[in-house]
Amino acid sequence: MKPYYDHAGITIFHGDCREILPSLPKVDAVITDPPYGVGKADWDSVFPTLPFWTAMRDAMREGASIVVYPGEADAPKKIALLSGVFDYHWQFVWYAPNAMQFGKTGYTVKSLAWWFAKGKASCRPKVRDVIVDPIIPEENNFGHPSPKPLGCISPLVGALSSPGETILDPFMGSGTTLVAAKNLGRKAIGIEIEEKYCEIAAKRLSQEVFDFEEATI
C-alpha cells in the first residue's frame, strides 16, 4: 500500500489498521489511544476485539512494549482481554489537574495508560509513572475531538524505546505519537482511517522538529 506520508523515517498510512498491520515490518514499540467503546462518536463505538490485538502482537518484535490508553469504561474486561494477549508490566497515569472530562464521580483529572509487552521489556531510563501535564487548549487545537497532548506521549516514547527504533500507532488521530517519535529521534508508523486526520498529522510532521532533550516523567 502506498503511504499517505513518508519522510525521514516517519510514515502514515490512510486506511483500516486491521488491513494494513499484516504488511508492516515488526516494530519496536506501540503507543496508542484506541476507541474506548463509549459510543460518544461513530469512531468510538467499539473497543478493539481479540483478533485485532492478536494481529498487533504479530506486528511487534519480541520484547517490544505496547502502551494502551483504555478509557474508563469496562476497564476490567479490557485489561482481561489485553492480558490474554500480552504480558502486563505496569500502568502510567496522565494527571491533568485542569481537566474537565465528566466521569461517574464528577469531573475526572486522570487517564490511565496500561503498559504491556510481548515478553519482557524495560523502561530506559527509569521514570515516574505519573505524568503531570495540564491541558493547554491552544497547544492541542488540531481539529481532533480528543487529542492527547505531546507532554503525555513523549515521556512514554522516551522511556520505552531507543533512538532509531520504530514506534507504531495504529489509531494515529492527529499524529501526536508520530510527532513525539520524530522529536526524539525515533522512526514511526501511523495508521488512521479518517483522511482528514491524516492531513492534520502530515501537516504537523512537516513543521520543524524542536531540539528537545530526552523526555522524562
**210 in a domain, yes or no?**
no
Render pLDDT for 183-194 as a digit per residue (tens, 0 to 9). Answer: 999 999 999 999
**215 in a domain, yes or no?**
no
pLDDT exceeds cutoff 50 at 114: yes
The whole-model pTM stands at: 0.90
Cell of 77: 474486561
Please provide the DSSP assignment of 114-133 as one string.
EEEESS----SS---SEEE-
- Write down the pLDDT at residue 159: 96
The closest of 105, 43, 115 to 79, measured between CA atoms, is: 115
Q: What is the mean pLDDT of residues 128-146?
A: 78
Virtual torsion, Cα 42, 154, 6, 189, nearest 10 deg: -60
**Do 2 and 20 meet the contact criterion of CB atoms below 8 Å apart?**
no
The model's confidence at residue 215, banded by pLDDT at 50, 70 and 90, is very low
**213 in a domain, yes or no?**
no
- Before 125, cis peptide (omega within 30)? yes
Range of the domain at 142: 5-205
Q: What is the CATH number of the domain that holds 87?
A: 3.40.50.150
Q: What is the mean pLDDT of residues 111-134?
A: 94
Render pLDDT for 4-49 as a digit per residue (tens, 0 to 9). Answer: 999 999 999 999 999 999 999 999 999 999 998 655 555 556 899 9
pLDDT exceeds cutoff 50 at 216: no
**98 in a domain, yes or no?**
yes
**217 in a domain, yes or no?**
no
**Do 107 and 101 meet the contact criterion of CB atoms below 8 Å apart?**
yes
For the chain, the domain total comes to 1
Render pLDDT for 62-113 as a digit per residue (tens, 0 to 9). Answer: 999 999 999 888 999 999 999 999 999 999 999 998 887 777 777 889 999 9
- Write down the pLDDT at residue 212: 45
Strand order in the sheet with 5-7: 5-7, 10-14, 187-192, 166-169, 27-32, 60-68, 110-117, 87-95, 130-132
The span from the CA of 74 to the CA of 91, in Å, is: 16
**123 in a domain, yes or no?**
yes
